Amino acid sequence: MARVFNFGAGPATLPEPVIRQAAEEMLDWHGSGMSVMEMSHRGKIFVAIHAQAEADLRELMAIPKNYKVLFLHGGAAGQFSIVPMNLLRGKATASYVNTGHWSTRAIAEAKRYCKVSIAASSEDAKFTYAPRQDQWKVDSAAAYVHYTPNETIGGVEFHWIPDTGEVPLVADASSNILSRPIDVSRFGLIYAGAQKNIGPAGLAIVIVRDDLIGQAAPFTPAIFDYKAQAGADSMYNTPPSYTIYMAGLVFQWLKRQGGLKAMEEINIAKARLIYDYLDQTEFYHSPVAKEDRSRMNVPFSLRNAKLDEEFLARSKARGLSELKGHRAVGGMRASIYNAMPVEGVKALVEFMREFERTHG
């Protein structure tokens, strides 16, 4: 069966060369006689795989030396709790920016550990824009400021890095990490689930500044303590080893593409293909403010919602998979992460045009 163009939000499509390499190495990694998923995480082979993955990520993102890179269990949702456990550092308040479903989830978890002050929110417009910096009210006593640079469900993306002064900035970058260059030094901590732009589900990557490590709340389990994990090179317990291996293959693939600047140019071009079409048709509708539209997740709706099921059925028959929007917002959503080829986006726009011609 031919591979489809998978527009799923996560787990998401992976680069085909990465999948092929993993398949070739599945039973016997480089003459070792075993699969990576069977190896001891403390053996020389996997330790080298792990070290190379971290080195490649550091190179891709230009991560400064005073930041630790952790490969952890629990995905991004685990970090909703683990971040306040580690970063409150005896303070009573943390500031959060509320821009959609995942921000709301992070806020709900943080409230278990501290008082949450809302620095900014776009709830007034059903989370269809990113609040401008001059709308933010950061609590100067807050331990950190948390925001979600890209809301996977709502399709809202910050195309700028907030300035939070002396208060450390924390980002849940799950759905746009590695899609563009960023200045890591502007952040206290960046975390991301793997299953969108990094690799298979099961891994969370945490990039945390050294001075924010070592002051976890007393009740923090050791496995969730950044200091304990950093001291053990992310191997306080058995890590998600095969996912780290797969992430490492993705990092190498990104380097072969020319790095993050090259990926940003491709991602801009892919997003423009869809948004340019949406802007010139009345048949479909894009709900997000133009200046805040995501390059990674493109939600759209048909003006006539009665056609939704037929649209989904016909698109699936054409090899365009996972276009149904999240149940929280409905409609459609095309996730076009790094691994989605331009050809897939062109095929989607061609189908959308065709569907409009036959049903408009």
Q: Considering 29, 56, 68, 172, which one is annotated as catalytic?
A: 172
Residue 349 phi/psi, 5-degree rounding, is -65, -40
Residue 250 to residue 2: CA distance in whole angstroms: 22
Are the beta carbons of 88 and 94 closer than 8 angstroms?
yes
Are the beta carbons of 32 and 45 closer than 8 angstroms?
yes
In whole angstroms, how far apart are CA 337 and each of 89, 165, 215, 273, 344?
35, 31, 35, 14, 11
Q: Is 172 a catalytic residue?
A: yes
**Tokens 């008082």 found at:** 115
Residue 138 to residue 169: CA distance in whole angstroms: 11
The DSSP H or E segment spanning 351 is helix 342-359
For the chain, what is the radius of gyration of the CA atoms?
21
Q: How many other β-carbons are positioned within 10 Å of the β-carbon of residue 118?
A: 15
Residue 113 to residue 154: CA distance in whole angstroms: 27
Q: How many other β-carbons are positioned within 10 Å of the β-carbon of residue 210?
A: 13
Q: Considering 68, 196, 227, 324, which one is annotated as catalytic?
A: 196
Q: Is 105 left (phi over 0), alpha (psi -120 to 50) or beta?
A: alpha
Q: Considering 29, 102, 136, 253, which one is annotated as catalytic?
A: 102
The β-bridge relationship of strands 297-302 and 320-321 is unpaired
Structure tokens, 195: 């299953």
Q: Which residues does the annotation mark as catalytic?
A: 102, 172, 196
